[in-house]
Amino acid sequence: MTPSTPPRILLGITGGIAAYKSPDLVRRLRDRGAEVQVVMTGAAERFVTRQTFQAVSGRPVRTELWDEAAEAAMGHIELARWAGRVVIAPASADFIARLAAGLADDLLATICLATEAPILLAPAMNRVMWANAATRANIGTLTGRGMRLLGPDDGNQACGDTGAGRMVEPDRMAEAILAGIAGAGLLEGVRMLITAGPTREPIDPVRFISNRSSGKMGFALAAAAVESGAKVRLVAGPVGLPTPAAVERIDVESAEQMLDAVHRHIGQTDIFVAAAAVADYRPASAARDKIKKTAPEMALKLTRAPDILTQVAALANGPFTVGFAAETRDVEKNARAKLEQKQLDMIAANRVGAGSGFDSDQNALTVYWSGGEQELPKTGKRELARALVQIIARRYVTARETAGSR
């Protein structure tokens, strides 16, 4: 784009409390040189006035499909053509549902149907509404049609809840909108298989050995990979997390079951990311009946569980493999040893304990590969996942080019 043609952003505001942040988004987009045309739904006007947006955007705000004077000046089809990019921020659950149904029952929904510009959605809603199966399905439909997601973020919500559903902060959003989306399209069409969460290794029908993994990192990676255009399958151990939009999830319990699921799909995988905290050992045999407390002592005989990552990395013509290493000390030394021993393409190492790593919302990672490394400082797992996906994408493309030129 030349300096004489500023980016044209059509910003749709729908009805949600996060709309109070949208005037700030307009300002930040304009600060970066964009022209912003605001279109509000009726519900949005219950949260912020059109005068506010008119003042910050410097253009009359559009709200009505049936406003003759405004339509005469620039009709809805012209607006749809004018836009270089359509951004819906906040995108409410209701508006997402209307988009998924293909409705054209107000000006903004009509523009979304009539535009050929990329559409970006910044969802904002209560965490339970975001996790609801209806919203999941609608988001899956929309991303399947090529719409892109900006967020949502995790954190405190206006309703007092804490969780996923916060609108991305205006400054970061403005940057992502004008940059394309951070990382968008990097993995277009690439097939990714991700393992996540702990495993449960049965002792008897009611008891098992497991660990503290929450699955948050693997789930955040799956969401970030979808944002980057990948087709994602997620093999999840027992965790209480909602399935990220547009992700195919396969639930398993034990290491054996996780291995089976991975083997079933590895033939259709370009990148394998082992984020699961798979048991290293499992009871040598699980009792068929519940073990009774008759003996004063009991010993549990353990045997090695299958190492899924090692098996995948050893496949001839296998995928690009990324492992994780959780270390309490000598992070680089131990991680590099695993990279070599397991013959991985990349390893993401974190120091566990002291408020990061397992079962925490924040984490820091250092990523190692043969001849390189990159530090990802401590931040929310969602943000960290986006950064890690970008590194994976870059290394994957380099590896493919190198293999192609051999």
Catalytic residues: 159
> Does 323 interact with ligand CTP (rule: CB under 6 A)?
yes
Chain Cα centroid distance, residue 186? 14
């995948």: which residue's tokens? 312
Closest CA relative to residue 101, chosen from 90, 112, 85, 115: 112
Residue among 99 and 273 whose Cβ is closer to ligand CTP = 273
Shortest separation between residue 372's beta carbon and ligand CTP, angstroms: 19
> Does 142 interact with ligand CTP (rule: CB under 6 A)?
no
| Omega prior to 377 cis, within 30 of 0 | no
Closest CA relative to residue 102, chosen from 112, 116, 92: 112
> Does 305 interact with ligand CTP (rule: CB under 6 A)?
yes
Contact range with ligand CTP by CB under 6 A, out of 84-92, 131-139, 167-175, 272-280: 272-280
Rounded to 5°, the CA angle 134-137-143 comes to 140
> Does 200 interact with ligand CTP (rule: CB under 6 A)?
no
Cα(384)–Cα(365) distance, rounded to whole angstroms?
8
Residue among 248 and 256 whose Cβ is closer to ligand CTP = 256
* Burial degree of 176 (CB within 10 A; 0-12, 13-18, 19+): buried
Shortest separation between residue 376's beta carbon and ligand CTP, angstroms: 16
Cα torsion 257, 363, 185, 270: sign: negative
Answer yes or no: are the C-beta atoms of 302 and 282 closer than 8 Å.
yes
Shortest separation between residue 273's beta carbon and ligand CTP, angstroms: 8
Instruction: Characterize the bridge pairing of strands 281-283 and 302-304.
Output: antiparallel
Cα(369)–Cα(158) distance, rounded to whole angstroms?
42
> Does 388 interact with ligand CTP (rule: CB under 6 A)?
no
Residue among 52 and 211 whose Cβ is closer to ligand CTP = 211
> Does 346 interact with ligand CTP (rule: CB under 6 A)?
no
* Burial degree of 270 (CB within 10 A; 0-12, 13-18, 19+): middle
Mask for 154-193, x = binds ligand CTP (CB under 6 A): ----------------------------------------
Cα(238)–Cα(254) distance, rounded to whole angstroms?
9
> Does 326 interact with ligand CTP (rule: CB under 6 A)?
yes
> Does 96 interact with ligand CTP (rule: CB under 6 A)?
no
> Does 324 interact with ligand CTP (rule: CB under 6 A)?
yes
> Does 325 interact with ligand CTP (rule: CB under 6 A)?
yes
Shortest separation between residue 255's beta carbon and ligand CTP, angstroms: 5
Subset of 231-260 contacting ligand CTP (CB under 6 A): 255
> Does 9 interact with ligand CTP (rule: CB under 6 A)?
no
If binding means CB under 6 A, how many residues of this protein chain bind ligand CTP?
16
> Does 336 interact with ligand CTP (rule: CB under 6 A)?
no
Q: Site for ligand CTP (CB under 6 A): which residue of 338, 351, 382, 395?
A: 338
Shortest separation between residue 360's beta carbon and ligand CTP, angstroms: 17
Cα(112)–Cα(105) distance, rounded to whole angstroms?
11
Shortest separation between residue 335's beta carbon and ligand CTP, angstroms: 9
Subset of 349-378 contacting ligand CTP (CB under 6 A): none
Q: Tell me how crowded residue 397 is: count the other CB atoms within 10 A of its CB.
A: 14
Contact range with ligand CTP by CB under 6 A, out of 120-128, 231-239, 274-282, 369-377: 274-282
> Does 219 interact with ligand CTP (rule: CB under 6 A)?
no
Strand locations in 147-286, DSSP E? 148-149, 153-156, 162-166, 191-196, 201-204, 207-209, 231-236, 247-251, 271-274, 281-283
Q: In what helix (H) or strand (E) does residue 294 lie, and over which residues does it extend?
A: none
């919203």: which residue's tokens? 135
Q: Site for ligand CTP (CB under 6 A): which residue of 204, 307, 361, 373?
A: 307
Tally the residues of the chain. Answer: 406
Q: Site for ligand CTP (CB under 6 A): which residue of 29, 177, 247, 274?
A: 274
Contact range with ligand CTP by CB under 6 A, out of 97-105, 175-183, 320-328, 383-391: 320-328
> Does 215 interact with ligand CTP (rule: CB under 6 A)?
no
User: Which residues contact ligand CTP by CB under 6 A?
Assistant: 195, 255, 274, 276, 278, 280, 305-309, 323-326, 338
